[in-house]
């Protein structure tokens, strides 16, 4: 049964689970934020879409042998996960240039990265999630160099799987962000969410942006877009 609120983030609330100290309930909110919280809005139904889309993707990754925190969906907006201590590093994988890298390094949008580019960011709102290297990660977290390499390898493997998954529903995966955590036994698990909030997804035929960029750039209806993504993914067996 749902216990006390442990933490409230920008997109999710995290609850304890009564009678199971090794599990948590993630409750997806309808709030949307961008540009480190400077742009804010609320979309009725967004929590449901991100919960159900994340469940679908984590279920697929689990079937492909990726170790994740996801256990099961509980209802439209909530899911049961294994409790982990989140490593405060955001791992971004880029197949094609978009977003911050185009501004930071002047790389033209849609430039293809082959092999895909893996970047690390320090998960810290006060510092606006700065780009870091492996040595910074070692200083800022308690992960050792071997674990950082393991995380990057896992991110590359997850990218290969997600590229194929999204391609099967006519979506190009431009980039995405992952977070990892350690469970009570010290196992490294994929954690957090994978949704249109955390991925850039472009329709393979029209090039249309079908992710949170519709909100960031005011170029479309977020709920209609997320609904279209869920419908496509629900067609995958």
Binding segment toward ligand 5GP, per CB under 6 A, in 57-65, 81-89, 195-203, 217-225: 195-203
Binding segment toward ligand 5GP, per CB under 6 A, in 38-46, 148-156, 170-178, 227-235: 170-178
Which H or E run includes 188? Answer: strand 188-191
Q: In the chain, where does DSSP find H-type helix?
A: 46-63, 100-105, 134-140, 145-167, 213-216, 222-234
Cβ at position 104, least distance to ligand 5GP in Å:
8
Q: Which of 54, 141, 198, 225 binds ligand 5GP (CB under 6 A)?
A: 198
The DSSP output letter for 209 is: B
CA neighbor of 107 nearest in space, from 120, 116, 98: 98
Q: Is 197 in the site for ligand 5GP (CB under 6 A)?
A: yes
Residue 88 in tokens: 């405060």
Determine the Cα–Cα distance for residues 169 and 203; give it in Å rounded to an integer.
9
Cβ at position 177, least distance to ligand 5GP in Å:
3
Q: Which of 29, 48, 69, 177 binds ligand 5GP (CB under 6 A)?
A: 177
Cβ at position 150, least distance to ligand 5GP in Å:
20
Q: Is 199 in the site for ligand 5GP (CB under 6 A)?
A: yes
Residue pair 155/178 in contact (Cβ under 8 Å)? The answer is yes
Q: Which of 32, 120, 158, 175 binds ligand 5GP (CB under 6 A)?
A: 175
Of residues 95-114, those binding ligand 5GP (CB under 6 A): 99-100
The DSSP output letter for 139 is: H
> Is residue 197 reached through a cis peptide bond, with omega within 30 degrees of 0 on the bond before it?
no
The phi-psi region of residue 58 (left if phi > 0; otherwise alpha if psi is between -120 and 50; otherwise beta) is: alpha
Q: Which residue is at the shortest CB distance from ligand 5GP?
A: 99
Cβ at position 19, least distance to ligand 5GP in Å:
31
CB-nearer residue toward ligand 5GP: 90 or 147: 90
Determine the Cα–Cα distance for residues 145 and 100; give it in Å rounded to an integer.
26
Which residues form the interface with ligand 5GP (CB under 6 A)? 90, 92, 99-100, 129, 175-177, 197-200, 212
């Amino acid at each position: 049964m749902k216990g006390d609120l442990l933490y409230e983030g920008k997109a999710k609330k995290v609850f304890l689970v009564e009678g199971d100290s090794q599990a948590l309930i993630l409750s997806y909110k309808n709030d949307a934020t961008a540009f480190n919280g400077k742009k804010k809005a609320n979309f009725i139904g967004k929590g449901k879409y991100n919960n159900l889309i994340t469940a679908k993707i984590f279920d697929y990754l689990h079937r492909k042998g990726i170790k994740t925190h996801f256990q099961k969906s509980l209802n439209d907006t909530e899911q049961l996960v294994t409790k982990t201590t989140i490593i405060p590093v955001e791992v971004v994988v880029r197949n094609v240039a978009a977003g911050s890298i185009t501004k930071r390094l002047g790389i033209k949008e849609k430039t293809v990265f082959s092999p895909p580019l893996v970047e690390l960011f320090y998960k810290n709102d006060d510092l606006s999630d700065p780009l870091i290297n492996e040595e910074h990660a070692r200083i800022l977290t308690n992960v050792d160099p071997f674990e950082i390499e393991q995380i990057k390898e896992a991110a590359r493997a997850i990218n290969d799987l997600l590229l194929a998954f999204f391609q099967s529903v006519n979506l190009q995966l431009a980039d995405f962000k992952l977070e990892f955590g350690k469970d009570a036994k010290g196992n490294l698990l994929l954690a957090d969410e994978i949704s249109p909030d955390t991925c850039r997804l472009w329709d393979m035929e029209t090039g249309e942006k079908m992710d949170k960029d519709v909100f960031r750039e005011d170029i479309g209806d977020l709920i209609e877009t997320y609904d279209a993504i869920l419908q496509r993914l629900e067609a995958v067996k």
